[in-house]
Amino acid sequence: MSNYMPTRVPTTPLRQTNSRSSSWWSFAPIAAAILLCLSAPAWAQYESLGISSPKQQTTNQRPLRQPNLAAPTSEQVAIPPMVRPSMAQPPTTRLLETPSASILEGILREGSELESGRRWSEALTHYEQALREHPGDTTLMRRQDLAKLHYSLDRRYSDRSYLNSVRSLSTQQSLSLYLELLRKVHTHYVNTPPWQRLGVRGVTSLDIALTDDSFRKANAMVVSRDQLEILRRELYQLIGNRPVASPQDLTALAGEVARLAESRIGLNGSATVLEFVTAAAGGLDDYSAYLTADQLRDVYSQIEGNFVGLGVELKADNGALLIVHVIPGSPAERAGILDGDRIIAVDGLATEDMTTDQAASMLTGAEGSSVRVAAVTPGQTPRQLTVRREHVDVPSLEGEKIVDPDAGIAYLRIPAFQKTTARDLDAALWRLHAKGMRSLILDLRGNPGGLLTASVEVADKFLQKGGIVSTRGRNAQEDFKYQAHYGGTWRVPLVVLIDGDSASASEIFAGAIKDNKRGAIIGEKSYGKGSVQGIFPLGYAGAGIRLTTALFYSPHGTKISKRGVSPDNAPIRTVAKPIDGQINGPVAASTDHVLQLGIAAARNPAGTRRVGAARGRDAAR
């Protein structure tokens, strides 16, 4: 999670290839869309969603990759006696059938504790990580999706632009927004949309929202438990008896639910319909999502590589905010915040007493304003810091250096593939060439992805011919093959460093280098994010949808999704990474085992699969 939020909106739809986290994007030439390669949390895909009692929610198994397009049975839509998911100890009935039952029981128990504390961000991360170790476990997928629904609700109702939408849109405008979104899903989504499941998920999202304090307060709800139970019974009866097979069917369902909720409890129609909107976008797969106006603007700020904020990347860490990375030259760096620090208080309020999103949102604000934070470096006492929010430019390259002058080995880190990465890389390569570069190490560890065209352009700088990547979707216009061009190619021997956090656009580059035998791939197997998302602005509220439109494949036709790119070296158990991408001499290099392997490969021409003997760039040809 980054403390900078998307803020600028293009006039055309944007396409994105997914990666491991939700911060970076990629372009590609497609009609009315921009392609992105983005790393997002490992949200496991599921193909049907059942609504059942709390006890059943922890035991029922749902069919995987078998979309249920028929109307759900009465058993599937049995009305839960409580709106919130059960926080009781997970039953062991189904788990005892598998050898890893005790492990899964522990995972579910820990997840229940996070849910009980309403720590939805951490619960979602917990289930995502568990699903990487236990893919396809339907109990984990159900719990993960419930956490996702709660987390999404928390985020939306702390988003000013979303609250403005709830207040300003009429019911009819909200329904028009919903129909527009569903039509884009119908036209562009990579798979046949599971319309029935999206309808059930919309009802589930509303059911969860009805007992959420933020939702009730924002919508001025004053209702009794009996009123809610009557409404909920009618909602589940409605979806249980209603087949849904098209965008029009879903829109009609949302309209009927909105009228019912307004009649029974006086709920604003737009609040009801927008629950269906967000549930549909977020229920398609791991990476598709509804984007509020603020989020959509932030997406484009990230593409441009700039934003207003502190200049840190964050993630939840046991009631605190862990500083994953401090952007060089940022206000946070000048204030003394370090990579690995934990923020334990913001403006005098302890982070353990609030949700992760609430704490992170307190760090955002207008340019020129300041925020007070309590930061703790491991092993030291907390320190109070005041950080000014400023315009931050995110560098597209870090750590430019000659790491071995005798062998002429150069080093560069690409933290993400941005709009300017290819241009900035060219300038850096010329500087390194002037310093005696005879081989190059490109570090893509921790790179979550970025712009598709940026990764293609960077790969094209090192490939004289051959394929770079291909995309394939349900719609023929999503099918595209990117090829290398002979002219302007750098033929310097190449080593690429990757790890389990290298995703999407990073995997496009690494896969192209590997399949074309252009260089050595060193490190750990990459994340395995291989889908393309389009960012489509919508006609109401300044909102948009991030929608999976295609999968991408390496030059040899290898599907990257769920597989990743394997390195050339033997498996590595522990990987040390340089702080801030800085490699400051032999001591720093010696503590980074993967970099040592990269340097060894760069010293060995065979290890880099060297193509040609020339140094420098073949710009003339």
- Catalytic residues, which ones? 504, 515, 529
Rg (CA), the chain: 25
What is the C-alpha to C-alpha distance for residues 210 and 231, in angstroms, rounded to an integer? 10
**φ, ψ (nearest 5 deg) of residue 486:** -70, -45
What is the C-alpha to C-alpha distance for residues 452 and 454, in angstroms, rounded to an integer? 5
Burial 571-610 (b: 16+ CB within 10 A, else e): eeeebebbbbbebeeeebbeebebbebbbebbbeeebbbb
The burial of 475, by beta-carbon neighbours within 10 Å (0-12 exposed, 13-18 middle, 19 or more buried), is given as: middle
- Choose among 93, 192, 79, 170: nearest CA to 139: 93
Evaluate whether 235 touches 206 at the Cβ level (below 8 Å).
yes
What is the C-alpha to C-alpha distance for residues 567 and 562, in angstroms, rounded to an integer? 16
Quote the tokens at residue 510: 């690494």
**77, β-bridge pairs:** 51
Evaluate whether 394 touches 313 at the Cβ level (below 8 Å).
no
- Choose among 213, 249, 207, 243: nearest CA to 228: 207
What is the C-alpha to C-alpha distance for residues 564 and 559, in angstroms, rounded to an integer? 8
What is the C-alpha to C-alpha distance for residues 550 and 530, in angstroms, rounded to an integer? 9
**DSSP H or E stretch at residue 599:** helix 593-603
**φ, ψ (nearest 5 deg) of residue 556:** -85, 5
Please tell me whether residue 326 adopts helix, strand or coil conformation.
strand
| 366 conformational bin, left if phi > 0, alpha if psi -120 to 50, beta if neither | beta
Number of H helices, E strands in the chain: 19, 23
**342, β-bridge pairs:** 322, 376
**531, β-bridge pairs:** 551
**φ, ψ (nearest 5 deg) of residue 385:** -130, 145
Quote the tokens at residue 378: 């491991």
Burial 256-277 (b: 16+ CB within 10 A, else e): ebbebbeebbebbbbbbbbbbb
Percent of the chain that is helix, strand, coil (3-state, to 5): 40, 20, 40
CA 30 to chain centroid: 22
**DSSP H or E stretch at residue 523:** strand 519-523
Evaluate whether 357 touches 155 at the Cβ level (below 8 Å).
yes
**371, β-bridge pairs:** 387
What is the C-alpha to C-alpha distance for residues 538 and 172, in angstroms, rounded to an integer? 15
Residue carrying the six token digits 């249920």: 68
**φ, ψ (nearest 5 deg) of residue 275:** -65, -40
Residue carrying the six token digits 């597209």: 396
What is the C-alpha to C-alpha distance for residues 375 and 285, in angstroms, rounded to an integer? 36
Longest dimension (CA), the chain: 79
